[in-house]
Chain A
């Protein structure tokens, strides 16, 4: 029983990480209908930036908590600039090109970012300093520590915050208008380029936070950490219904649970035929199954085929 509870906690924590990253995917997709393949790399750059600024600030003798806050801000700013440039350079000129084109540039951006990061920060794994003592808490035999709890709460809070932005503010209204119909929005006086840029910057800022949380949780940062995470998070976004903020959260948590419970119990269910060696397969199977049977995802509305 405590093992099951622990697996559920593992799944929820991992799922919150997926959800944080999935929010970024879903925002961009909701507005542009574009899979920002490079989003996972932005997460990685966020983690790396945070790590670098953290080590520098700590080296300058700044107190840990202040240094942590400052480095979060720096990482967010860095990622926002990155997100803006990615959109400006690689996606905007192709906004009216066939669908294949921006997808291919997105793959290109992803490769470039990964290799740039490798040149700047090296290939080795960097250990991420543990600044806040992370106390373990026990619930019925299962353990959750502070950082994990923060990740879970943060993911929920950010989702709620984004909901407010999208549904209650002027900017949000403009975003929804652009998502609905770019030409009509433009005619109504919405500056679409500005709205799209802001969306990318928002998504990238979230990516920076996600990167920092992942690194803090595992105590590691590495140039390759973003790719698979991005892929899983995209799966989560699709599972929940891409373009839907609540869907991203739900999809993330569900995927996390599927992975941890799958890895934990599939061996028992299949008599040892399948095991945790197929952990990564679950995500892809879920993805294929959702796309084939319910392409709109769990919470998404049915979208007509866009050419």
Chain B
């Protein structure tokens, strides 16, 4: 009955409008050609080899402050390399940063990845989030471009079977394991409650935490959930209270962790509160106020003052860009390890330096970095911190490869 309505007539006016509609589009795309920036070559001395390094993070949107931090870390490493005057395969090299904004959006990330490939980058530092790193990794892999993520933690990112994916950050499994072990062993927590924010990061970390805590003899008495826009946690915290745990672990970021710490106090829940690197920012202490005291959080890597060059990096970074937000040191390491591999291989071709990178051992500012066969960190040092006197204080570093003797 419905098909009868679909009569076949050629509608010439339809065709004309369709055609007319393309004219503004054509003009529009012409206008675009003016906007498209061509990567500036910078001041390259004669005989110097220009090498492009791509970087991608959310430079706009709710996570822009973290993304900027990443960009700054990457930029500083590249400027350092240019001042040093790196020679690769007998030629002096000038590095050039091509930084793109992925808006923390999986779709935009693939567009950005394609653009970086278009620009013939030798390697990519990024992306910041797991949700963007994973879809982008496919495009880099198809074009055989090395990708080192400074901060994507999802296990999935390196588990896709791509040779080109690396990261200089402990993954959720590594960090969750340390957190779970620490909670069950060092803090002797017997009954543990877990809340996660149902994001890829929070859920991934919480699940690994649970596995590790259980393996170390603790009991998970409650697993509750919230979301990354919530402000009220009283209902789930009351459930937690009813189960009488001695430790609460939260998988998520600061905007929820801070009010959660406050509401814990308001509901008179006296327990140890622990979160992962998502809670480890100075902002946590400002937002949670007094409730921040005694809270535990981890940060992958060794404390900066324990690593050679770490303190100096921090001093120079703070002088140039202000306080470190979170992942800038990892970006700095990611660039340097990429350059080190290029030097060792004597080539900036991704296919040439990739095997060298896979087997490299590099002393960074965050840790001593070696990759396993998937591109994950070997060992994966993680440092436990606690808020004491309104400041994050390092407690101890776990799971590290011992730094080489000097």
Contacts and interface: CB of A to CB of B under 8 A. Distances in A.
Direct contact between the two chains A and B in their complex (CB within 8 A): yes
Interface of A: 3, 6-7, 10-11, 13-14, 123-125, 127, 130, 136, 143, 145, 214, 218-220, 222, 224-225, 228, 259-260, 263-264, 267, 275-277, 279-280
Nearest to B241: A3
Nearest to B267: A143
28 contacts: A3-B238, A3-B239, A6-B267, A7-B235, A10-B238, A11-B235, A14-B234, A123-B61, A123-B62, A124-B65, A125-B283, A125-B287, A130-B289, A136-B266, A218-B259, A218-B263, A219-B262, A219-B287, A220-B259, A259-B235, A260-B238, A263-B235, A263-B236, A267-B239, A276-B226, A277-B198, A279-B225, A279-B235
Nearest to A13: B234
Contacts of A130: 289
Interface in B200-242: 223-227, 229, 231-232, 234-236, 238-239, 241-242
Nearest to A130: B289
A224 B228 CA distance: 11
B255 A264 contact: no
A220 B287 contact: yes
Closest 7 CB pairs of A and B: A277-B225, A3-B242, A260-B235, A263-B235, A10-B234, A276-B224, A6-B238
Interface string B283-317: 10011010000000000000000000000000000
Given A276-B226, A280-B227, A219 B259 contact: yes
B238 A275 contact: no
A222 B255 contact: yes
Interface of A is mostly: helix
B255 A125 contact: yes
Interface of B is mostly: helix
A301 to B, nearest CB: 33
A143 B266 CA distance: 8
Contacts of B258: 125, 220
Contacts of A127: 286-287, 289
B287 A218 contact: no
B253 to A, nearest CB: 10
Given A143-B267, A276-B226, A280-B227, A264 B287 contact: no
A228 B229 contact: yes
B3 interface: no
Nearest to B236: A276
B64 interface: yes
Contacts of B223: 275
Interface in B87-124: none
Interface string B246-285: 0000000011001100110011100000000000000100
Nearest to A224: B229
A102 B234 CA distance: 36
Contacts of B61: 123
Given A14-B235, A124-B65, 13 more contacts: A3-B238, A123-B61, A123-B64, A124-B283, A127-B286, A127-B287, A220-B255, A222-B255, A228-B229, A260-B234, A263-B224, A277-B198, A279-B225
B244 to A, nearest CB: 10
B235 A276 contact: yes
A218 B232 contact: yes
Nearest to B287: A127
A264 B283 contact: no
A279 B286 CA distance: 28
Q: Chain A CB within 10 Å — which of B64, B227, B234, B241 has the most?
A: B234
A218 B267 contact: no
Contacts of B227: 280
Contacts of A6: 238, 241, 267
A149 to B, nearest CB: 13
Nearest to A6: B238
Contacts of B255: 125, 220, 222
B395 to A, nearest CB: 26
A260 B262 CA distance: 18
Contacts of B229: 224, 228
Contacts of A275: 223-225
A240 B62 CA distance: 35
Contacts of B225: 275-277, 279
A137 to B, nearest CB: 11
A7 B65 CA distance: 37
Given A13-B234, A14-B232, A264-B235, A219 B289 contact: yes
Nearest to A11: B235
B259 A263 contact: no
B194 to A, nearest CB: 12
Contact of B266 (A7, A145, A220): A145
A260 B242 CA distance: 14
B259 A276 contact: no
B64 A264 contact: no
Nearest to B263: A218
Nearest to B234: A10
A304 B41 CA distance: 69
A7 B238 contact: yes
A280 B228 CA distance: 12
Contacts of B289: 127, 130, 219
Contacts of A259: 235
Interface string B318-361: 00000000000000000000000000000000000000000000
Contacts of A145: 266
A225 B255 CA distance: 12
Interface in B55-71: 61-62, 64-65
A218 B266 CA distance: 10
Nearest to A14: B232
